[in-house]
Structure 1
Amino acid sequence: MITLTGESLTLEQMKEVLYRGQKVRASEKSMDAVKKSREAVDRIVSESKVVYGITTGFGKFSDVLIDKNHVQDLQLNLIRSHACGVGEPFPEIVSKAMVLLRANALLKGFSGVRPIIIEKLLELVNLEIIPVIPQQGSLGASGDLAPLSHLALVLIGEGEVFYKGNRMESMGALQQEGILPVTLEAKEGLALINGTQAMTAMGVVGYLEAEQLAYESELIASMTIEGLNGIIDAFAEEVHVARGYKQQIDTARRIRGYLSDSLLTTQQGELRVQDAYSLRCIPQVHGASWQALDYVKEKLEIEMNAATDNPLIFDDGEKVISGGNFHGQPIAFAMDFMKIAVAELANISERRIERLVNPQLNDLPAFLSPQPGLQSGAMIMQYAAAALVSENKTLAHPASVDSIPSSANQEDHVSMGTIASRHAYQIIQNVRRVLAIELICAMQAVEIRGIEKMATQTKEFYEKGREQVASIKQDRVFSKDIEKAAKWLKEIEISHFIKEFSLEKEQY
């Protein structure tokens, strides 16, 4: 059981909840803060004070005062009118993350909701009642208003959910679990939808998949080095310590470790003096991607524990401040960085694929074909990788440089962070398929070289990979192999294969 405080949620804990079924609960201390914050809202309403979103309308309607007898109508109308999401729904795991993150943010005690709102959100997480939330429709400022409104609909018994493998009306799932819908009171509708949880949830799931891909890319690249009799000298510790980037040093160290007992790698001057950049510069390129991913991780873990709604309630209600924490710019930048970093893993992977299949660049059978000419072998797999890489270049265009005014120009600069996070996730799916193609080609190459000469670590990975994709003995429909390999790369417990090898000299 993971205890949420609003302050300490980590990506590792998110992984436990999203992928391993761990349950969650709220800390008593945080719930006490929530109760005090709620008392402040009740005082504001009873005294008819003018406070944005509590006794006024929203956005451009912030100057319209609302009678205290209509506070419930105000919140209900807000949720219904703002549920304007369109397109395909977010993956269920993303929507589940969204609910969890919204509960964690409210637990900070700055939002003025009743404890029951948080309790209901946590019930949805623990009982796997997942809101159906359309992916498109958020500008990434003023909060992820449209997506989070679809989330909030479930609490009031409206909208749709995924439940026990079915898509159904929310009320049906709630009734099956004996959960009563809530009537939203003052500030609660606004507190539920004014935040960055859609882009952050998409970012969390994307990051967790990207991190796994980054580790897998090193293992697959190590196998490619063996398939091409790559020069191991370029991965020497002193080369990378001389530059000083920790992530580059770490990548080189892992690859040295994976290949430590390989009989397929060579020394400089043995077959050639230097390898092409796609082999020689793996630590520099992959290491740079790790640098960006480390930045993304840092920003996500801040945002996961951030108060991102408006207004925020401080000092037991003595201060109620309208600010802009709902603006998604920090996450928009992080998602754009992640897009570029992960896309680059595919860029350099595709170049390694080319070196594996091009007979002008190696001494292997042309296109790794069992009968060059009669059979095409891996020829068109490289085409597919090239197409995916080029598609990623379009998706990697930064969403965060765009803005468009909304709400009669009251909300005149927005982040587009949710678009950035969605495109990042698309890129990640494409990159996994490119790496799957490199894996298939690398396995074929090392098989031709002699798997008995492989390093212990890469051979283990090869043997597991061969359980998914058979050796190319005859041309076949390789699309099935690519998808099967990609599915395997997504589902395997990569920690089993990752080896963190210590530096020979601790110099940095």
Structure 2
Amino acid sequence: MIPVGQSVLTLNDISDVLFKNKAITLPEAALEKINTNFEFLQQFSSNKLIYGINTGFGPMAQYKVSEENLLQLQYNLIRSHSSGSGVLLSPLLVKALMVARLNSLMQGFSGIHHDIVELLRDLVNKNVTPCIYEHGGVGASGDLVQLAHLGLVLIGEGEVIYEDCLRPTADVFKNLGIKPLSIHIREGLATINGTSAMTGIGLVNIIQAQKLLGWSAMLSAMTNEVVEAYDDHYSQQLNIVKHHIGQNKVAAMLREILEGSKMIRSRSKHLYHADGIKHDVFEDKVQEYYSLRCVTQVLGPIYDTIINAENVLVNELNSVNDNPVVDHVNQNIFHGGNFHGDYVSLEMDKLKIAITKLSMLAERQLNYLLNDKLNQKFPPFINLGVLGLNFGMQGMQFTATSTVAENQTLSFPMYVHSIPNNNDNQDIVSMGCNAALMTKKVIDNTFAVLGIQLMTIAQAIDYLNCQQKLSPHTLELYKQVREMFPKFIEDQPKYKEMEAIRLFMETNHPAISIKA
């Protein structure tokens, strides 16, 4: 069980809930804090003008709402903003969104009744996920439209995904004995005013980005291994003189992966001896191409970017991010902009750019393996059949290249793409949910590219018949891949194997830790 509201939630906690289906629980002490906060709001709001309780919303806040319409105001807010479009977010992303919203409300500064957090807990634990659309929020009053669709389900309306089927919320609630939320004071505004959609999606992005970095280190190591590269470019001695944490972490990962390899060459043994200077022209390259030799310098900043994004997103996850903040400790209500998503938006753009660069590195390593004029080691496209008659990996390279090109175009930042709206009340916005969703697309694309690279490396290993020379780590991965993707000589459609390898990489961590 993962307690929500008692202590700081970590990325590992989120991963356990999403990928291991661990249940969440609400500690009594946290619920008592919520009750105290709610009772303070009830008392404090009497005969006071408070935004979103007895006023309209946004540029309509100048209009006072009559006493008899206060609760209807909250329902109107949810229903009017349930206006999303595009494709539905996956149940995984919606579950992450729900946990993020729940954790924000559990901080006890939102003036909500405990009914809403108990309902969110039950929906998460029963895997009932609201139908939430990708397009809508601009990330300034938070993810208004996406969270409104969450609110619509909380009040028993709209649709949900349950047991892989899209069904009316009312039917699922009835079957499961779930009571819809009744608004008490400001549960409508507290639901939709926050950064929980971009935060939930962003947390999933970081989990998947960590996998990608591990896989990129693994495939970079294997690429160096099959071409019998020299070992000094990932050595501790070379990398330690450059004082970046990520670079040295990646170098350590490469050393761990390649430990025991009989293919990696020592420069001291091959070049630093008398025979090494007897020729005017050397058959072997003295230094490898940058995509092989500069792996630590390319993946290092990507490592640092992922770590920083995790820190920022976990801070956002554990923050109060709606408005106004109901502060029973200081006996006041504070109006401001904690719903603004700039922190998440900027980190998602940075992560997106970093993962695009990771896919570019993979594409260059792939091209090196497939271009016999560059590697001077393998047949063109690592074609194990008859040259001219068979095509090897040629068709799959087109897919990798076009996918990386899409990543490059998607890497234009959303953070600087503010468009004023809401009668210019929201005159500068974060576009945080857009940033998170575009980052997810780049991550999904990159798994496909790395899958093609892994298939290519497996074909290269079979061409060399070098299985017994591989390191224990790379040999184990080769065996796993060949169970899903057998060696091929004759041309056959490979899109199903490509998808199988992509799914394998998406759902598994490589046998190394990026935080080692």
TM-score tier after normalising by the smaller chain length: over 0.9
8 A contact 1:48–1:68 mirrored in 2: no
Asked whether 1:463 is paired with 2:479, we answer yes
2:278 equivalent in structure 1: none
Counterpart contact for 1:247–1:291, Cα < 8 Å:
yes
CA–CA distance in structure 2, aligned partners of residues 427 and 135 of structure 1: 15
**Partners in 2 of 1:457 and 1:288 — Cα distance?**
24
C-alpha distance in structure 1 between counterparts of 2:431 and 2:21, whole Å: 31
Residues 240-291 of structure 1, C-alpha deviation per residue, up to 9 Å, x if partnerless? 1000111111111111121121122223355331000000011111111101
Unmatched segments (≥5 aa) in structure 1: 503-508
Residue in structure 2 matched with residue 492 of structure 1 by the alignment: 508
Whole-angstrom distance in 2 between the partners of 1:428 and 1:6 = 32
Q: 2:381 aligns with which of 359, 367, 373?
A: 367
Match of 2:244 in 1: 245
Partner of 2:460: 445
Equivalent residues in 2 for 1:27-426, closer than 5 Å = 27-45=27-45, 47-268=46-267, 271-316=284-329, 318-362=331-375, 363-370=377-384, 371-426=386-441
3-state secondary structure, aligned to 2:326: strand
Are the aligned partners of 2:214 and 2:513 in contact in 1 as well (CA < 8 Å)? no
Residue number in structure 2 paired with 1:21? 21
Note if contact 2:234-2:254 (Cα within 8 Å) is conserved in structure 1.
yes
Identity %: 34
Verify: 1:481 aligned to 2:512, yes or no. no
1:160 Cα deviation (Å)? 0.6
Letter in 2 for 1:423: M
Q: Describe the SS at the equivalent of 1:360.
A: helix
Separation (CA, whole Å) in 2 of partners of 1:201 and 1:252: 31
Q: TM-score, normalised by structure 2?
A: 0.94
Q: Say if 2:404 and 2:446, in contact at 8 Å, map to a contact too.
A: yes
Displacement of 1:32 in angstroms is: 1.5
Q: Cα distance, 1:493 vs. partner?
A: 4.5
Deviations 1:179-210 (A, max 9, x none): 11122122110000000011011101111111
Give the AA of the match of 1:433: A
Q: How far apart are the structure 2 equivalents of 1:186 and 1:217?
A: 50
User: Residue 479 of structure 1: CA displacement?
Assistant: 2.0
For 2:35, the aligned partner's letter is: K
The 2-side partners of 1:359 and 1:60 are apart by 64
CA distance in 2, matches of 1:491, 1:500: 16
Shift of 1:169: 0.5
3-state DSSP class of the match of 2:256?
A: helix
| Corresponding letter in the other structure for 1:323 | G
For 1:1-28, what per-residue CA distance to the aligned partner results, in whole angstroms no more than 9, with x for missing partners? Answer: 1111165011100011011110011122
CA distance in 2, matches of 1:442, 1:126: 41
Report if aligned partners of 2:198, 2:344 keep a CA contact under 8 Å in 1.
Answer: yes
Asked if the contact 2:206–2:306 (Cα under 8 Å) also holds between the matched residues in 1, the reply is: yes
Match of 1:436? 451
Secondary structure, aligned partner of 1:332: helix
SS, match of residue 387 in structure 2: coil
Q: So what's the TM-score if we normalise by structure 1?
A: 0.96
Moved more, 368-377 or 268-277: 268-277
**Deviation larger for 230-239 or 347-356:** 230-239
Deviations 1:124-151, CA, capped at 9 Å, x for gaps? 0011111010010110110100000000
- C-alpha distance in structure 2 between counterparts of 1:469 and 1:227, whole Å: 19
Deviations 1:295-330 (A, max 9, x none): 110111001001000000113573111110000000
Aligned equivalents of 2:330, 2:251: Cα separation in 1:
54
Give the equivalent residue in structure 2 for 1:506.
Answer: none
What is the one-letter code of the residue matched to 2:494?
F
Distance 1:262 1:309 in 2: 54
Assess if the C-alpha contact under 8 Å between 1:55 and 1:65 holds in 2.
Answer: yes
Of 296-305 and 316-325, deviating more is 316-325
Q: Is the 8 A contact 1:7 1:108 kept in 2?
A: no
1:62-90 residue CA offsets vs partner (Å, 9 max, x unmatched): 11111222111000000000111111111
Letter matched to residue 150 of structure 1: H
Looking at structure 1, the residues matched to 37 and 65 of structure 2 have their Cα atoms a distance apart, in angstroms, of 21
1:439-487 deviations in Å (ceiling 9; x for gaps): 0111111222211111111001111111111112211112222211101
Instruction: State how far apart, in whole Å, the 2-side matches of 1:2 and 1:63 are.
Output: 42
Matched letter for residue 41 of structure 1:
L
Q: Name the count of aligned residue pairs.
A: 499
> Are the counterparts in 1 of residues 349 and 439 from structure 2 also a CA contact under 8 Å?
yes
